[in-house]
Amino acid sequence: MADVTARINPLFLRDEELRQGIEFLYFAYREFTKEPDTILSEQGLGRAHHRTIYFVGRQPGISVSDLLSTLRITKQSLSRVLSQLLKEDYIRQRPGLRDRRQRLLELSPKGVELERKLTENQRKLLARAYREAGAEAVEGFRKVMLNIMSEEDRAHFPAQTTPPLPGWRGTGGGAS
């Protein structure tokens, strides 16, 4: 009986497949942020703080403007979040060496601890999903996700043919 639908309307399956994809994004993202959100709210922080902590942990010494272009929010929005993280000593800043106007950001020990706790959670979720889906599926997942994201964001990831390297976003070692 199921085949009848496909025979009658071959476009239907295509539409259904794409709608499922839409829902995958929604449901997976929701699950992905659920636990971290809970942990964060216990510390009086929110998802925006998570993102900031995450990317500062990812690129220690990142400048404010680089962080802004990664997050693509306004400086006023970041400011609110960043000020709190500085005040509560999750993040520390030091002036840039070459350009003393810059405030280079890095996690404090307290920030490292929280980052670990939050990311650990998402890593476990992902690791489980990867394991249950299998290596080949992970490669497919990677391909599709890279194609969904904007070209600019995609450029931050090395091609899969070579193993991923630490110098994410090309600002690897030095300041940008």
Partner DNA sequence: CGGTTACGTCAGCCATGTTGACATATCCCG
Partner DNA sequence: CGGGATATGTCAACATGGCTGACGTAACCG
Task: Please report which helix (H) or strand (E) contains residue 92, including its range.
Answer: strand 91-95
Task: Say if residues 96 and 63 touch (Cβ distance below 8 Å).
Answer: yes
Least distance from its own copies to the Cβ atom of residue 62, Å: 14
Count of chain residues binding its own copies (CB under 8 A) = 64
- Min dist CB 95 to its own copies, Å, is 28
Q: Are 88 and 107 in contact (CB under 8 A)?
A: no
Specify whether the CB–CB gap between 60 and 107 falls below 8 A: yes
Q: What is the DSSP letter of 59?
A: S
Q: Which residues, numbered 46-65, are part of the site for its own copies (CB under 8 A)?
A: 51, 54, 58
102 binds, among its own copies, DNA, none (CB under 5 to 8 A by kind): DNA
Q: Is 117 in the site for its own copies (CB under 8 A)?
A: no
Q: Which is nearer to its own copies, 77 or 94 (CB)?
A: 77
- The β-bridge partners of 94 are 104
- Determine how many CB atoms are found less than 10 A away from the CB of residue 112: 16
147 binds, among DNA, its own copies, none (CB under 5 to 8 A by kind): its own copies
Residue 105: strand pairing partners: 62, 93
Q: Which residues bind its own copies (CB under 8 A)?
A: 2-3, 5-6, 12-13, 15-32, 51, 54, 58, 72, 119, 122-123, 125-130, 132-134, 136-150, 153-154, 156-157, 162-166
